[in-house]
Structures are given as C-alpha cells and as structure tokens.
Amino acid sequence: MNAPRKVTRRIQLGPVAIGNGAPVSVQTMAKCDGRDTATLLNQIAASAEMGCDIFRVAVPDLATAEALAEVVKKSPLPLVADIHFDHRLALASLKSGVAGLRINPGNIGGRDAIRAVVAEAKPCHAPIRIGVNGGSLEKDLLEKHGGATAEALVESALRHVALLEAEDFFDIKISVKASDITRTLAAYRLLAERTDYPLHLGLTEAGTFLAGTMRSTFALGTLLAEGIGDTIRISLTDTPEREVRVGVELLRMLGLRSPGASVTSCPTCGRTQVDVRRIAEEIEARLEKFYRENPNAPRPHIAVMGCRVNGPGEARDADIALIGGSGRFALCVKGENVVAFPESEAAARVVDEVRRVQWK
C-alpha cells in the first residue's frame, strides 16, 4: 500500500496541474532536432496517444527556440524548453509560447541571468524547473561534499530556489537526478523533507530500454510508493513513446492512474503461426486511445493466444479471446466462438467488440 502523498504546492503548466494532490503527470523529451518541426510534432502526437501529459524539447540554439513558435500552436501537449548555458535561449523560448522552462542553475549564467529569465517567465505564468544533475554541480559544492553526493544535489537545488524566491517567483518544481538508484533515492527523500515545492522524479542516464526500465521503475516506484513525487520522466535510450508507456504503466501499477486495457497474451512457441506480440500491442495501443476518450468505458479481460493448446481454456476465462491459427484468428466472446478472420483484422475486430458490448 502506498504512503499518503506528501502535500506540496500547486503549480500550473499550461492545462496540467502539478502538486497538491493533482494526478502524477508523465513527461517525456524529444529525440530529434527541435528545428525539424514535422518530426517533432510526430513525436509529440505519438507520445500524447500513449498518455503523455507534458513534452520537453532541448533548445541548444536560437533557431530551435524560434522554431518552437510553430510547434506550440500545433502541439496537443504543453511544451517545456530545456535550457543550458545561455539564458537568452530561455527568453526566446518564452517568446515562442512554451508553457514552462527547465534550467540547470549550475550552468545558466549566474544571478543576473536568472533574474532576466524570471522577469520574462512571471508575466507568462510559466513555471521553472530547477533541474540539478550529478554531472553539473557547482565546484564549491563538489569540494564541500567531496563529490556529487545526495546532500550536494539538494544543497544546489535549494540554493537556486532561493535565487528565484528572491525575485518573488514561486512557480517552481525541482528535480535532483543522479545516474544511480542509491543517490537518487537519498536525494529525493532529503529534498522532500526540506521543501514543499512539487518534485519532478527521474533517474538520469538510466540506460537502454530493458536496463533503464528496471532501474527507473525501481527508483521512481519506491519514491512514489513513499508518497514522494508529483511528475515523472522515465529517461531511456529509446523513443519518447516507450518512455511514456513505461511511466504510465508504473503509475497504473501503483494505483496512481486509471487502469488501461486488460490484455493478457501467451509467450508464443514453435506452434504459433500468428504474430501474437504485434496483435496484443496493437490492441493495447488502440484501446489506450479509446479509454482516454471514454474514461468510464468498461475494461473487459482480453486474451490473445497463439494456438489451440491453451487458447480454448483462456477463452473460457476471458471476456474476449483471440485464438490463433495459420494466419487467422478465431474470436470468442464469453467463451463462445463467434467468428474467424484474417490476422490483419484482429486488432480492429477486438476494439469493435469492446465498443459494441456493454460489459458487466
């Protein structure tokens, strides 16, 4: 059972509320050149389809900041500009209409730069995330703490929060990311004790899909179960959509997001003559969109089976079952064989059945 969620301040990132009991939101980040607006919009749309709430874009130059103006107009998700080294890129991104900023105070350019960013962000009601990473801490903190320890990460974050507060700016969220689980857990636990600003959880440089998923879900799942965290990003060397999928499923596992489709599928073997994995994933993707549009729709148990060894037994227990044959599937509803059709029609037929029947 999860601990009660820590009470934090509420901020607003475009239409997305963060903190103070708002649903834990899922973020991801563009994996393309921000000047390539067509590819960027495709990544945003695909992430939104998977259940993403917030989308971040790296802004390494002025051309990218200016290109965001077109993206902001067409994006279904609020955009956060990720800024390093040059605060003028934050100013240009705000002019393009981004909903929020992520800055790393250790490399943004000092107090005057932060003051200039705040002066532009405040009238836009654009929150700022203080994003501290183990790899970019201030030299004096590294010397004081003997390295990028959890205490050093937290001290850096709170030092820069104080700079924003001095400018009468409080629309703040904070992250303190390390690349290992131990420091990440320690840093966020310490930060949660010392501030009531909403926390953005993440494990930086988590790795490729399998390893990164395991590390991130352990670290973030532990913190969320302790009641810590208001928004999350799963950082993978993979597509934005897969980051979102992992994040959404993590929240569902912890009871922090409405359940998705209830799909079980067989592991396949040498008897399988249909593409069970593709069909099961396509059903999940189609139903993900359906349930976002129809959040109160029932969620029948769907089984996708590759052959008739275990298929009939699963069909008896599932509300809807697909039993594979040679390039074809039989559709069973409540244990009764209804119809057979080519593999290419399978996912659409299942979704049609979910839409059609009022499941008890």
Written as tens digits, the pLDDT of the chain (360 aa) is: 789 999 999 999 999 999 999 999 999 999 999 999 999 999 999 999 889 999 999 999 999 999 999 999 999 999 999 998 899 999 999 999 999 999 876 677 778 888 899 999 999 999 999 999 877 788 888 899 998 999 999 999 999 899 899 999 999 999 998 888 999 999 999 999 999 999 999 998 778 999 999 999 999 999 999 999 999 999 999 999 999 999 999 999 999 998 877 888 989 888 888 999 999 999 998 888 888 888 888 889 999 998 877 777 767 788 899 998 888 998 988 888 888 889 899 999 999 988 887 655
Angle value at C-alpha 142, between 140 and 143, nearest 5 degrees: 65
Q: How far apart are CA 74 and CA 113, in angstroms?
A: 30
Distance, CA of 258 to chain centre: 15
| pLDDT at position 358 | 62
Q: How far apart are CA 38 and CA 46, in angstroms?
A: 12
Ranges of beta strands (E only) in the chain are 11-13, 16-18, 25-29, 54-58, 79-83, 100-103, 128-133, 172-177, 200-201, 231-233, 262-265, 301-305, 320-324, 328-333, 336-342
Assign domain 11-253 to a CATH class: alpha beta
| pLDDT at position 359 | 54
The token pair at 319 is 């509300």
Q: CB atoms < 10 A from the CB of 101, how many?
A: 29
Select from 239, 207, 62, 26 the least CA-distant residue to 81.
62
| pLDDT at position 228 | 98
Q: What single letter denotes the amino acid at residue 332?
A: C
Where do we find the tokens 């052959």? 307
| pLDDT at position 205 | 78
| pLDDT at position 33 | 93
Judge contact between 203 and 177, C-beta under 8 A. yes
> Do strands 231-233 and 320-324 pair parallel, antiparallel, or not at all (unpaired)?
unpaired
| pLDDT at position 24 | 97
Ranges of CATH 3.20.20.20 domains, the chain: 11-253
Q: CATH fold of 262-356, please?
A: Sulfite Reductase Hemoprotein; domain 1 (3.30.413)
Distance, CA of 322 to chain centre: 31
Ranges of CATH 3.30.413.10 domains, the chain: 262-356
Q: How far apart are CA 257 and CA 237, in angstroms?
A: 25
Radius of gyration of the chain (CA): 23
Q: Is the dihedral of CA 101, 105, 108, 114 positive or negative?
A: positive
| pLDDT at position 355 | 86
